[in-house]
């Protein structure tokens, strides 16, 4: 009997040991986290801005507010900033990259203000019609439901 009891003990101990290794992250312990090299990123980002600036010189400055004129250049600029941030082990977007991108926006798109649309109410005849139709339909549906519920012989 003592032999059976001593044979059963190693299995729970082994399971606890394996569980402890898994809990401690023994499998993923080799993963190392790299710190963001902000100075390297700030050193490399101006090259992206310079390339974007050169491409924007090809576009007439009157068309700078029309995104379809330079969307490919802006996409390349965005990919460049993302690549340089990732090469410096930084996530993207981050506050430093956003500050750089905002500076580019101020340089090229500061005169692009959105035109505010002035909304007006429709003429009174149309407005009254648009209000009364749903009200009348609601009243008609309520009347129909009440009328059908009182006539049990139909159902």
Please determine, for residue 130, whether its predicted confidence score (pLDDT) is greater than 70.
yes
Nearest to 53 by CA among 111, 112, 109, 92: 109
Give the range among 65-69, 72-76, 104-108, 118-122 with minimum mean pLDDT: 118-122
pTM flag (> 0.75): no
Q: How many other C-beta atoms can be found within 10 angstroms of the C-beta atom of residue 139?
A: 10
Say what the pLDDT of residue 116 is.
72
Q: How confident is the model at residue 151 (pLDDT cuts 50, 70, 90)?
A: confident
Domains of the chain: residue spans and CATH: 38-110 (1.10.150.510)
Query: So what's the pLDDT on residue 47?
Result: 95
Q: Which residue has the tokens 């690549």?
A: 83
CA distance 13 to 6: 12
Q: What is the pLDDT of residue 14?
A: 63
Residues 6+ apart with CB under 8 A from 109: 64, 65
Distance CA 148, CA 150 (A): 5
Dihedral angle of Cα 72, 75, 76, 79, to the nearest 10 degrees: -160
User: Over 90: is that where the pLDDT of 48 sits?
Assistant: yes
pLDDT band at 134 (very low <50, low <70, confident <90, very high): very high
Residue 72's pLDDT is what?
94
CB-CB neighbours of 98 under 10 Å: 12
Continuous segment of H or E residues that includes residue 99: helix 95-109
Contacts of 133 (CB under 8 A, 6+ apart): none
């Amino acid at each position: 009997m003592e032999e059976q009891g001593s044979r059963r003990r190693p299995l729970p101990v082994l399971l606890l040991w394996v569980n402890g290794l898994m809990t401690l992250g023994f499998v993923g312990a080799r993963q190392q986290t790299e710190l963001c090299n902000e100075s390297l990123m700030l050193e490399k980002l101006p090259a992206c801005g310079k390339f974007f600036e050169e491409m924007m010189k090809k576009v007439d400055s009157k068309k700078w507010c029309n995104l379809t004129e330079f969307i490919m250049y802006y996409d390349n600029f965005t990919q460049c900033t993302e690549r340089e941030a990732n090469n410096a082990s930084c996530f993207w977007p981050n506050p430093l990259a956003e500050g750089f991108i905002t500076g580019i926006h101020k340089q090229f798109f500061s005169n692009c203000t959105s035109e505010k649309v002035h909304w007006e109410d429709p003429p009174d005849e149309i407005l009254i019609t648009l209000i009364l139709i749903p009200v009348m339909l609601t009243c008609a549906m309520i009347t129909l439901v009440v009328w059908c519920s009182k006539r049990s012989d139909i159902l």
